[in-house]
Protein backbone atom coordinates (compact mmCIF):
# COMPACT_ATOMS: atom_id res chain seq x y z
CA UNK A 1 0.00 0.00 0.00
CA UNK A 2 1.43 3.34 -1.02
CA UNK A 3 0.50 5.47 1.94
CA UNK A 4 3.37 7.53 3.19
CA UNK A 5 3.68 10.20 5.84
CA UNK A 6 2.64 12.92 3.40
CA UNK A 7 -0.39 11.01 2.13
CA UNK A 8 -3.24 13.55 1.97
CA UNK A 9 -5.73 10.78 2.84
CA UNK A 10 -4.03 10.52 6.20
CA UNK A 11 -4.70 14.24 6.75
CA UNK A 12 -8.36 13.61 5.98
CA UNK A 13 -8.36 10.66 8.38
CA UNK A 14 -6.86 12.76 11.16
CA UNK A 15 -9.37 15.55 10.54
CA UNK A 16 -12.16 12.99 10.79
CA UNK A 17 -10.71 11.65 14.05
CA UNK A 18 -10.65 15.21 15.43
CA UNK A 19 -14.35 15.51 14.52
CA UNK A 20 -14.87 12.18 16.26
CA UNK A 21 -13.30 13.48 19.47
CA UNK A 22 -15.66 16.47 19.37
CA UNK A 23 -18.58 14.11 18.74
CA UNK A 24 -17.68 12.07 21.81
CA UNK A 25 -17.75 15.28 23.90
CA UNK A 26 -21.23 16.07 22.56
CA UNK A 27 -22.51 12.59 23.37
CA UNK A 28 -20.96 12.68 26.84
CA UNK A 29 -22.73 16.01 27.43
CA UNK A 30 -25.96 14.33 26.28
CA UNK A 31 -25.53 11.42 28.67
CA UNK A 32 -24.73 13.87 31.49
CA UNK A 33 -27.88 15.83 30.70
CA UNK A 34 -29.94 12.64 30.68
CA UNK A 35 -28.52 11.44 33.99
CA UNK A 36 -29.00 14.89 35.55
CA UNK A 37 -32.69 14.97 34.71
CA UNK A 38 -33.28 11.24 35.04
CA UNK A 39 -31.06 10.21 37.97
CA UNK A 40 -30.71 6.45 38.36
CA UNK A 41 -30.59 6.45 42.17
CA UNK A 42 -33.51 8.66 43.04
CA UNK A 43 -36.37 6.21 43.49
CA UNK A 44 -38.31 6.90 46.69
CA UNK A 45 -40.38 3.70 46.25
CA UNK A 46 -43.66 5.59 46.49
CA UNK A 47 -46.50 5.43 44.03
CA UNK A 48 -49.25 7.96 43.52
CA UNK A 49 -52.62 6.92 42.27
CA UNK A 50 -54.02 8.59 39.17
CA UNK A 51 -57.63 7.53 39.74
CA UNK A 52 -58.62 8.19 36.15
CA UNK A 53 -59.10 10.69 33.34
CA UNK A 54 -62.65 11.94 32.84
CA UNK A 55 -64.69 14.41 30.86
CA UNK A 56 -64.52 17.79 32.60
CA UNK A 57 -66.87 20.72 32.88
CA UNK A 58 -64.90 23.98 33.35
CA UNK A 59 -68.05 25.80 34.54
CA UNK A 60 -68.70 23.49 37.49
CA UNK A 61 -65.06 22.33 37.72
CA UNK A 62 -66.32 18.78 38.07
CA UNK A 63 -65.57 15.57 36.19
CA UNK A 64 -68.19 13.20 34.88
CA UNK A 65 -68.60 9.86 33.15
CA UNK A 66 -66.30 6.85 33.05
CA UNK A 67 -62.51 6.72 33.08
CA UNK A 68 -61.41 7.15 29.46
CA UNK A 69 -58.29 6.87 27.34
CA UNK A 70 -59.41 8.78 24.23
CA UNK A 71 -60.94 12.22 23.83
CA UNK A 72 -62.05 14.39 20.95
CA UNK A 73 -60.21 17.67 20.35
CA UNK A 74 -63.16 19.74 21.47
CA UNK A 75 -63.74 17.76 24.67
CA UNK A 76 -62.51 19.06 28.01
CA UNK A 77 -60.92 16.48 30.25
CA UNK A 78 -59.18 16.25 33.59
CA UNK A 79 -57.26 13.72 35.65
CA UNK A 80 -58.22 12.85 39.19
CA UNK A 81 -55.43 12.17 41.69
CA UNK A 82 -55.61 10.40 45.03
CA UNK A 83 -52.94 12.07 47.16
CA UNK A 84 -53.90 10.17 50.31
CA UNK A 85 -51.47 7.26 50.06
CA UNK A 86 -48.34 9.40 49.83
CA UNK A 87 -45.99 10.22 52.73
CA UNK A 88 -45.90 13.90 53.65
CA UNK A 89 -42.10 14.20 53.61
CA UNK A 90 -41.93 14.43 49.83
CA UNK A 91 -42.69 17.24 47.39
CA UNK A 92 -44.90 16.39 44.46
CA UNK A 93 -46.71 17.96 41.54
CA UNK A 94 -49.10 16.73 38.89
CA UNK A 95 -48.61 17.96 35.34
CA UNK A 96 -50.33 17.54 31.96
CA UNK A 97 -48.05 17.50 28.92
CA UNK A 98 -49.57 17.79 25.45
CA UNK A 99 -48.29 15.98 22.36
CA UNK A 100 -45.61 18.67 21.87
CA UNK A 101 -44.50 18.22 25.49
CA UNK A 102 -45.86 21.63 26.48
CA UNK A 103 -47.27 21.90 30.02
CA UNK A 104 -51.02 22.37 29.63
CA UNK A 105 -52.17 22.04 33.23
CA UNK A 106 -50.72 21.38 36.66
CA UNK A 107 -51.16 21.44 40.42
CA UNK A 108 -48.35 21.79 42.90
CA UNK A 109 -45.63 21.61 43.77
CA UNK A 110 -46.36 20.90 47.40
CA UNK A 111 -46.54 18.15 49.95
CA UNK A 112 -49.37 15.63 49.49
CA UNK A 113 -51.26 17.15 52.40
CA UNK A 114 -51.01 20.63 50.85
CA UNK A 115 -52.45 19.29 47.59
CA UNK A 116 -55.20 17.17 49.17
CA UNK A 117 -57.90 19.62 48.12
CA UNK A 118 -56.66 19.75 44.53
CA UNK A 119 -57.59 16.30 43.29
CA UNK A 120 -58.87 17.38 39.85
CA UNK A 121 -56.21 18.46 37.34
CA UNK A 122 -57.72 19.71 34.06
CA UNK A 123 -55.82 19.72 30.76
CA UNK A 124 -56.20 23.21 29.37
CA UNK A 125 -56.38 24.31 25.76
CA UNK A 126 -53.19 26.27 24.96
CA UNK A 127 -53.57 30.02 24.75
CA UNK A 128 -54.54 31.20 21.29
CA UNK A 129 -56.00 27.84 20.26
CA UNK A 130 -59.64 26.80 20.17
CA UNK A 131 -59.10 23.06 20.62
CA UNK A 132 -56.72 20.63 22.25
CA UNK A 133 -53.79 19.60 20.07
CA UNK A 134 -54.21 16.02 18.90
CA UNK A 135 -51.86 13.23 19.94
CA UNK A 136 -50.58 11.63 23.09
CA UNK A 137 -51.06 13.52 26.36
CA UNK A 138 -49.03 12.50 29.38
CA UNK A 139 -50.35 13.08 32.87
CA UNK A 140 -47.40 12.72 35.25
CA UNK A 141 -47.38 12.85 39.03
CA UNK A 142 -43.81 13.82 39.75
CA UNK A 143 -41.67 13.71 42.85
CA UNK A 144 -39.45 16.76 43.14
CA UNK A 145 -36.03 17.08 44.68
CA UNK A 146 -34.57 20.57 45.12
CA UNK A 147 -37.36 21.92 42.95
CA UNK A 148 -36.57 19.57 40.06
CA UNK A 149 -38.70 16.61 38.96
CA UNK A 150 -36.64 13.47 39.53
CA UNK A 151 -39.18 10.66 39.37
CA UNK A 152 -42.61 9.97 37.96
CA UNK A 153 -44.58 8.24 40.71
CA UNK A 154 -47.84 8.03 38.80
CA UNK A 155 -48.66 8.32 35.13
CA UNK A 156 -51.51 8.19 32.67
CA UNK A 157 -51.33 8.51 28.92
CA UNK A 158 -54.46 9.52 26.99
CA UNK A 159 -54.95 10.10 23.29
CA UNK A 160 -56.64 13.16 21.81
CA UNK A 161 -58.03 12.22 18.44
CA UNK A 162 -57.65 14.34 15.33
Partner 1 sequence: MSAFSTPTAANPRPRNRPARYILAVVIGAVVLLVVAGNSLLDYVFIDTIPGRATLYGLVAVALIALGTYIQARAFNRDAVTRRRHLIRAGVLLGLAAMLWLLISDLFLFAESAGPGVAAVCALACVPTTAFGLWVVRRIDRNEKEPWRLVLVAAAWGAVVATSLVIWAETFWDAVAVNTLVPGPGLDASNAFSAGMFEELGKGVAVLLLFLVMRNEFDDVVDGIVYGAAVGLGFNFMETITYMTNLYAILSPEGSGGIAAGFQWYARQVLGLFMGHATYTALIGAGIGIARQLPSRRQKVIAILTGFLVAIAAHFSWDAWLTFFPIETSLFGLVEVHLRTIVMTGPFTAAVIVLLVMGLRNESRALYEQLHKEAGGGAGAVLPAEVDILASPWRRFGERLRALDKGGLGAYVRLARLQTAQLDLAMERWHRERQEIDTPLEAEQELRGEILTLRRQAAF
Which residues in this chain contact partner 1 in the complex, by CB under 8 A? Answer: 1-3, 8-9, 11-13, 15-17, 19-20, 22-24, 26-27, 30, 33-34, 36-38, 73, 95, 97, 101, 129-131, 133-136, 138, 140, 142, 149-152, 155, 157, 162
Shortest CB 31 distance to partner 1, Å: 8
Torsion of CA 76, 82, 86, 88, to 10 degrees: 80
Closest distance to partner 1 from the beta carbon of 160 (Å): 10
Which CB atom, from 74 or from 113, has the smaller least distance to partner 1?
A: 74
Task: Kindly report whether the peptide bond that precedes residue 75 is cis, defined as omega within 30 degrees of 0.
Answer: no
Q: Smallest distance from the beta carbon of 100 to partner 1, in angstroms?
A: 9
| Cβ–Cβ < 8 Å for 91, 143 | yes
Q: List, in sequence order, every residue forming a beta bridge with 75; answer none if it has no partner.
A: none
Strand (E) or helix (H) holding 23: helix 8-37
Count the residues in the chain.
Answer: 162
Q: Which is nearer to partner 1, 64 or 101 (CB)?
A: 101
Number of C-beta neighbours around residue 29 at 10 A = 10
Minimum CB separation of residue 161 from partner 1 in Å reads: 11
Amino acid sequence: MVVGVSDPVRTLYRTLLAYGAFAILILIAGVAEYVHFEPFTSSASVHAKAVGVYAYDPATKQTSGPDRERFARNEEFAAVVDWSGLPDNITVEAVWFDSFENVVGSVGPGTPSQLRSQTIVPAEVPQGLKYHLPGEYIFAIERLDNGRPVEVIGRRVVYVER
